[in-house]
Amino acid sequence: MSQDPGSSRGAPLGTGRRLALLSCALAWLLPGAGHFFLGRRTRGMAFLGIVVTTYLIGLGLDGRAYLADREHPLTALATFANVGIGPLDVLQRRATYDRLVWQLPADPAREPLLAAMRTRVRSQNSDYGTAFLLTAGLMNLLLILDAYDVAVGRKATLEEQPE
């Protein structure tokens, strides 16, 4: 039987890729879950604690979720970073805008969203909170990529690591 270079030893073609996609999906749904699924339970729990704590600090400091705005193209990158935290992004959007929205709409529907954003920005800690939220999302995106690397064999598994 042919081997996928990234698959586990003795596994059929494509098994490593399917395992990798499943671990990535789990890692996006819950930070650290991809590593936990791949047998790196201690790391998975540590990553869960670090990312969720960073996220909660961001919410506690009145951080705001970014909205993609056609007039400001870099906001799309910040929005992508926010979405990197997975379903927790729903909580930060509810906290910021009181609804689920990812793009700043055209006039006049944008005014209530801008007003909600301005209210958040008035907080002394808002910039720090927003930085924490972005950091949590970016950390989780890196963990998703790391889980992928572990699953396809680019990183040594626990059995292959020297003691």
Q: What is the pLDDT of residues 42-86, one digit of tens each?
A: 999 999 999 999 999 999 998 888 888 888 899 899 999 999 999
Q: Count the domains in the chain.
A: 1
3 assigned to some structural domain:
no
Contact 11, 26 (CB under 8 A): no
- The domain of 53 spans 15-152
Q: Do residues 145 and 155 make contact, with C-beta atoms less than 8 angstroms apart?
A: no
Higher pLDDT, residue 58 or 10: 58
Whole-model pTM: value is 0.79
Question: Is the confidence at residue 107, as pLDDT, over 80?
Answer: no
Give residue for tokens 């081997």: 3
- Identify the pLDDT of residue 95: 82
d(CA 147, CA 108): 43
Q: Is the residue at 105 inside a domain?
A: yes
CA–CA dist 94, 106 (Å, integer): 20
37 in a domain, yes or no? yes
Say how many CA atoms lie within 13 Å of 155 toward its Cβ: 13
Cα separation of 81 and 137, whole Å? 5
Residue 113, domain member (yes or no)? yes
DSSP string, 54-90: HHHHHHHTT-----BBTTBTTHHHHHHHHHTTTTHHH
Assigned domain for 9 exists: no
